[in-house]
């Protein structure tokens, strides 16, 4: 793929853009107006478990007009989930017949939102499960990697080769990636993981491992997971697990241990006084439940606690 645009150069977008540029692609960054001042020389840096990397993008801009004459093969959307709709509407003029859109955000609803404006066969989902945080603007630090970036078209509306072109582009750049025909189920695996860990880690200011080792927090996480399985069942959403106990066994024995020292991005958002992605995580579970007459009370409580902290910190 010759021309690639990364929309949102935060912790995840910076990693994608840096590695892809190092791999000799033409890579551009689209950011918000107030971020442009930090991109004077278009240079990005990545440190951490995958080594030290530095790349100078072809352009970093907040002006869509600067990009309209470029035929993008791939647009990677790496903004926060609450910015998905505004972002998709903004990039519509950049989408050409051959352009593929890769959504890499957390939570539920990003594909559903994007498909209101873009032909579904152009949209890919990418389940990202490497941990990355910003040291400063355009400088990311990779803390952990639990699995490949899993990429697929949720409704299998593309030929496998078209998806594999994107997978291979990312994998050859040095980011572990693989093709998944069940990417929607895989994404729900991450929703389960994030809903159980992120808000509690943010509220209690502790790592994933600490949450697992504490009896009280483990009981809360069990209830969050039980409610998500009930919501999925009521909404006819297919998960990779037949029951919550099967998932919990994997969650506690296999998923948390490699990331036991990791703090959730929601923790850093609250620390920085930023808006979190709670509405795409536990908040989305509450909404999906309420749509079918079921209130997931623990997810409801967790969501409201995070919203309270958001308002308190943003207004302080």
Do 102 and 179 contact (CB within 8 A), yes or no?
no
Contact 33, 61 (CB under 8 A): no
Q: List the Cα angle 63/40/16 in 5-degree steps.
A: 70
Sheet holding 123-127, edge to edge: 59-61, 26-30, 3-7, 74-77, 100-103, 123-127, 149-152, 177-179
Q: Which of 190, 218, 233, 260 is catalytic?
A: 190
190 in active site: yes
> Which of 270, 111, 272, 106 shows the shortest CA–CA distance to 193?
106
Helix (H, G, I), strand (E, B) or coil at 286: helix
Bridge partners, 177 (sequence order): 149
Joined tokens for residue 312: 């308190």
> For residues 264 and 199, what is the distance between their CA atoms, to the nearest angstrom?
8
Per this entry, what is the length of the chain?
316
E-assigned strand segments in the chain: 3-7, 26-30, 43-48, 53-56, 59-61, 74-77, 100-103, 123-127, 130-136, 139-145, 149-152, 177-179
Q: Taking a C-beta distance cutoff of 8 angstroms, is the pair 307, 286 a contact?
A: no
Which helix or strand (DSSP H or E) is residue 99 part of? none
Cα 299 to its chain centre, rounded Å, is 20
Closest CA to 278 of 202, 189, 218, 219: 202
The candidate with the shortest Cα–Cα distance to 256, out of 196, 183, 302, is 196
List active site positions.
Answer: 190
């Amino acid at each position: 793929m010759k021309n690639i645009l990364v929309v949102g150069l935060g912790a995840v977008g910076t990693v994608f853009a840096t590695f892809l540029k190092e791999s000799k692609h033409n890579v551009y960054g689209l950011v918000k107006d107030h971020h442009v001042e930090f991109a004077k020389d278009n240079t990005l840096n990545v440190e951490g478990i995958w080594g030290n990397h530095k790349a100078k993008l072809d352009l970093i801009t907040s002006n869509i007009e600067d990009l309209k004459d470029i035929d993008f093969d791939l647009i990677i959307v790496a903004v926060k989930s609450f910015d998905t709709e505004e972002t998709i509407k903004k990039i519509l003029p950049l989408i050409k017949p051959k352009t593929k859109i890769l959504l890499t955000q957390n939570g539920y609803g990003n594909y559903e939102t994007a498909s209101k404006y873009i032909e579904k066969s152009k949209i890919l989902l990418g389940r990202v499960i490497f941990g990355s945080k910003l040291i400063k603007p355009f400088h990311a630090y990779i803390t952990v990697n639990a699995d490949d970036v899993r990429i697929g078209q949720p409704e299998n509306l593309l030929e496998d080769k078209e998806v594999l072109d994107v997978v291979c582009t990312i994998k050859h750049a040095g980011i572990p990636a693989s093709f998944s025909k069940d990417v929607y189920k895989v994404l729900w695996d991450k929703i389960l993981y994030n809903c159980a860990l992120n808000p509690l880690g943010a509220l209690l200011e502790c790592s994933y491992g600490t949450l697992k080792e504490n009896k009280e927090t483990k009981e809360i996480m069990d209830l969050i997971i039980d409610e998500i399985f009930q919501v999925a069942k009521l909404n006819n959403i297919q998960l990779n697990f037949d029951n919550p106990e099967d998932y919990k066994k994997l969650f506690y024995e296999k998923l948390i241990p490699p990331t036991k020292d990791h703090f959730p991005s929601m923790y850093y958002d609250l620390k920085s006084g930023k808006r979190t992605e709670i509405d795409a995580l536990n908040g989305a579970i509450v909404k999906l439940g309420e749509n079918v007459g079921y209130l997931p009370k623990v997810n409801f409580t967790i969501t409201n606690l995070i919203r309270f902290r958001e308002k308190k910190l943003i207004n302080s």
